[in-house]
């Protein structure tokens, strides 16, 4: 059961990125400092060109001050093409050593004409329910 949802969005280069993050109670092991979060991202292409998601770059931080950088090709094993006025949605996750953290980053995408653009992923919070209250 997902117990908390946060929604964030941003637009850059006519590409809209929306993020919904969730805390996954049943997979988290608090005694072992293992806090599991999922995030679902919808990338909507508001441009007139097809774009391909080539690479991703993440900065992941927790409330203990630990920061990790993750970069790689595509997302969830794919380098999807997103046609004009279409969207692509995927879900992934991360494990933090604290009940509170955040993620932010960017995608590198290639347009039909070969131009590479950077699309920002908004800063979004990862939080165990009621941790901020």
What is the chain's pLDDT, residue by residue, as a tens digit (133 residues)?
Answer: 344 456 666 667 899 999 999 999 999 999 999 999 999 999 999 999 999 999 999 999 999 999 999 999 999 999 999 999 999 999 999 999 999 999 999 999 999 999 999 999 999 999 998 876 5
Q: Which of 69, 68, 58, 60 is nearest to 107 (CA)?
A: 58
Tell the CATH superfamily of the 2-127 domain: ApaG domain (2.60.40.1470)
Q: Where are the domains of the chain?
A: 2-127
Strand residues in the chain grouped as ranges (E): 2-12, 15-24, 35-45, 51-62, 67-73, 81-82, 87-96, 100-111, 116-127
pLDDT score at 22: 95
> Across-strand partners of 126?
101
pLDDT score at 130: 80
State the Cα–Cα distance between residues 92 and 1, nearest whole angstrom.
Answer: 16
């Amino acid at each position: 059961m997902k117990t908390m949802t946060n929604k964030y969005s941003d637009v850059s280069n006519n590409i809209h990125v929306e993020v919904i993050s969730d805390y996954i109670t049943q997979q988290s092991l608090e005694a072992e400092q293992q806090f599991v979060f999922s995030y679902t991202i919808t990338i909507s292409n508001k441009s007139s060109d097809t774009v391909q998601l080539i690479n991703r770059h993440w900065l992941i931080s927790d409330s203990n001050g630990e920061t990790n950088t993750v970069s790689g090709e595509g997302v969830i094993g794919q380098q999807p093409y997103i046609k004009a006025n279409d969207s692509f949605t995927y879900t992934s996750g991360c494990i933090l050593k604290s009940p509170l953290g955040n993620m932010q980053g960017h995608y590198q995408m290639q347009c039909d004409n070969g131009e590479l653009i950077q699309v920002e992923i908004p800063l979004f919070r990862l939080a165990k329910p009621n941790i901020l209250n």
